[in-house]
């Protein structure tokens, strides 16, 4: 029984590694075809041609593109993400605390969004086509209609400016007490929760409703089980695989899609770090952050696939 599972898991992992390699090529090519000259942007427009040429030689920009790519990839594989051109700091040491901040923000949002989305999805199924289902679905549709920056600014206006409950700028630092850190990330975490909650709820509802159409559900109903018992014992356990897949995809979005939210709340995470260095045309930083985001997204998708395999007997025993 283990052999098919191990084979499927190995296939997913190998596919993820190949995909990450392809993404690294796209990231490198994308940063190389950007208009302008990196050396010129570092030295400024007043720099002499000789100074620009010397800096290009020092940075290795005169080497062929494939040599620069494999040099960069070799550094990544050994844990060396390079040096920031704008500050001269080691990128790996600079990214570490910011990655922790982003993961903490995503974790806070996930702790609220995941159980709430599953609960609302179950309620919508239990009272489907009723007032509760229509209310939950309507609120979810309205939530998905608002862009995340609009949600963020609404939260800032009401909770930071008008009522002054939470700070408008989410400043966190090392050694900050846990409760103070929670208060600082309350607004960005709420914005992220509202962004992903509707999608998770609707997909949970759709997955359970799809299972509810199965023959064994009708058999359970004929046995006299209540609707809640049918959902709890039969429908939800068999809908776990698609629900887990949806949850993992939204968790990936919580980590990768935080750029806008972090900029709005000036949160010192990966998104803010990326935007700051894009403005400075700091190519090594952009490459490193882009690769980390891609690795996180691909890893969570692989975990979702593996969870779906383990939860679904039809995938464990493919024919």
What pLDDT, in 10s, does the model give residues 203-261? 888 888 888 777 777 787 788 888 788 877 777 777 777 788 788 888 888 888 788 99
Q: What is the CATH number of the domain that holds 161?
A: 1.10.3720.10
Q: What is the mean pLDDT of residues 14-23?
A: 94
Q: Is residue 50 part of a domain?
A: yes
Q: Is residue 230 part of a domain?
A: yes
Q: What is the mean pLDDT of residues 163-191?
A: 91
**Shared-domain flag, residues 163 and 35:** no
**Shared-domain flag, residues 144 and 43:** no
**Distance separating alpha carbons of residues 210 and 239, to the nearest angstrom:** 8
The torsion angle over the Cα atoms of residues 63, 69, 70 and 74, rounded to 10 degrees, is: 120
Task: Look at the pTM and tell me if it is higher than 0.75.
Answer: yes
DSSP string, 150-163: HHHHHHIIIIIIIS
Q: Is residue 259 part of a domain?
A: yes
**Shared-domain flag, residues 113 and 233:** yes
**Shared-domain flag, residues 102 and 71:** no
**Shared-domain flag, residues 272 and 236:** yes
The torsion angle over the Cα atoms of residues 116, 118, 120 and 124, rounded to 10 degrees, is: 180
Confidence of residue 317 (pLDDT cuts 50, 70, 90): low
- Say whether 83 sits in a helix, a strand or coil: strand
**Shared-domain flag, residues 35 and 183:** no
**Shared-domain flag, residues 150 and 108:** yes
**Shared-domain flag, residues 57 and 110:** no
How many domains, in total, are found in the chain? Answer: 2
Q: Which has the higher per-residue pLDDT, 101 or 236?
A: 101
Range of the domain at 171: 98-279
Nearest to 286 by CA among 19, 9, 16, 27: 27
**Shared-domain flag, residues 203 and 120:** yes
Q: Is residue 127 part of a domain?
A: yes
């Amino acid at each position: 029984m283990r052999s098919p599972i191990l084979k499927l898991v190995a296939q997913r992992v190998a596919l993820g590694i190949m995909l990450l390699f392809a993404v690294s090529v796209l990231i490198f090519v994308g940063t190389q075809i950007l208009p302008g000259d990196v050396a010129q942007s570092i030295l400024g427009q007043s720099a002499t041609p000789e100074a620009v040429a010397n800096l290009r030689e020092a940075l290795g920009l005169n080497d062929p593109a494939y040599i620069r790519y494999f040099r960069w990839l070799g550094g990544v594989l050994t844990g060396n993400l390079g040096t920031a051109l704008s500050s001269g700091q080691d990128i790996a040491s600079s990214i570490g605390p910011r990655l922790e901040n982003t993961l903490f923000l995503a974790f806070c949002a996930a702790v609220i969004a995941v159980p709430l989305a599953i609960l609302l999805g179950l309620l919508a199924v239990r009272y489907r086509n009723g007032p509760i289902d229509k209310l939950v679905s309507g609120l979810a549709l309205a939530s998905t209609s608002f862009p995340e920056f609009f949600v963020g600014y609404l939260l800032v206006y009401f909770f930071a400016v008008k009522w002054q409950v939470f700070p408008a700028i989410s400043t966190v630092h090392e050694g900050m007490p846990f409760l103070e850190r929670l208060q600082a990330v309350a607004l960005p975490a709420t914005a992220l929760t509202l962004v992903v909650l509707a999608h998770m709820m609707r997909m949970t509802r759709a997955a359970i409703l799809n299972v509810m159409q199965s023959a064994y559900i009708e058999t359970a109903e004929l046995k006299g089980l209540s609707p809640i018992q049918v959902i709890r014992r039969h429908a939800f356990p068999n809908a776990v695989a698609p629900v887990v897949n949806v949850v993992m995809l939204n968790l990936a979005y919580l980590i990768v899609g935080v750029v806008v939210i972090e900029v709005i709340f000036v949160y010192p995470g990966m998104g803010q770090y990326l935007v700051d260095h894009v403005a400075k045309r700091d190519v090594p930083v952009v490459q490193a952050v882009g690769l980390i985001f891609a690795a996180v997204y691909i890893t969570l998708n692989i975990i979702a696939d593996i969870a779906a395999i383990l939860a679904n007997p039809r995938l464990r025993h493919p024919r």
